[in-house]
Amino acid sequence: MEAQQVLTAGQTGLQLLLMITAPIVLVVLVVGLVVSIFQAVTQINEATLSFIPKLVAAIIALTLAGPWILSTLVDYLREVLISIPKAVG
């Protein structure tokens, strides 16, 4: 296996990681921002008020994006497993 193939495989894996995690991270980021603005306006400083909505948003985002994430990972794994004989032999 050449160095270029290793770099390409690593780059593809990192791109896939970013593509899969981006929807969940963005949802939690937006919910955290909204909750922080709400806390600043109302001057309520409760730790659970910032944690629980983000947790619920992450669970909902994972539930909605789960099938897409799973199919993307399965497609990537299939490509990797098919390319192993080419890389070794």
Domains of the chain, by residue range, sit at 3-88
| φ and ψ at residue 45, rounded to 5 degrees | -115, 75
Residue 25: per-residue pLDDT: 97
pLDDT at 1 over 70: no
pLDDT, position 16? 95
Q: Is 77 helix (H, G, I), strand (E, B) or coil?
A: helix
84 CB-contact burial (10 Å; exposed 0-12 / middle 13-18 / buried 19+)? exposed
What are the backbone dihedrals phi and psi of residue 42, each rounded to the nearest 5 degrees, phi first?
-90, -5
79/89 Cα distance (integer angstroms): 16
How large is the average pLDDT for residues 71-89?
A: 88
How much is the pTM? 0.80
What phi and psi values does residue 2 have, to the nearest 5 degrees? -80, 165
Distances (CA, A) of 1 to 34, 55, 87: 48, 42, 5
Which band of pLDDT confidence, cut at 50, 70 and 90, is reported for residue 66? very high
pLDDT tens column, 15-56: 999 999 999 999 999 999 999 999 999 998 888 888 999 999
pLDDT at 5: 82
pLDDT of residue 58: 96
